[in-house]
Amino acid sequence: MSLLSLVKHSSIWERRWFQITAAGRNFAGGWPAEPDVESDATFRLTDEDTIEAVVDEYRNQIAVSNEILASIDLDARCVRSDLVNETVRWVAIHMIEETARHAGHADIIRETIDGTRGR
């Protein structure tokens, strides 16, 4: 686990929750059509995962998510068949929670590097 792997993971799930679950977009090899893979696969970095590439991709995914949120009623039901009882608002809140959780993970990693704690 690293700061960069947290950003990569966040980018992947940003896309999955907003584009697939909320907006109903499909991607080849995407989720949930992809068979269950080990839970930490989205944290795995490759040689192509430079800081610039991963951060740019995360920013792009956030921009797309913002476009989706601006274009869909927050009370609209999710498109994914197993989440039709949830709303786009639920997805947005879920992603706020997930992002906050990973920010906490990032803070723990940072604390181990510089030895300081937030005030």
CA torsion, points 53, 108, 89, 14, in degrees to nearest 10?
Answer: 20
Residue of higher predicted confidence among 12 and 30: 12
pLDDT band at 7 (very low <50, low <70, confident <90, very high): very high
Question: What is the mean predicted confidence (pLDDT) over 2-31?
Answer: 89
Instruction: Average the pLDDT over 57-81 and give the result.
Output: 95
78-96: pLDDT as tens digits? 988 888 899 999 999 999 9
Mean pLDDT of 56-80: 96
Compute the distance between CA of residue 62 and CA of residue 85 in angstroms, rounded to an integer. Answer: 24
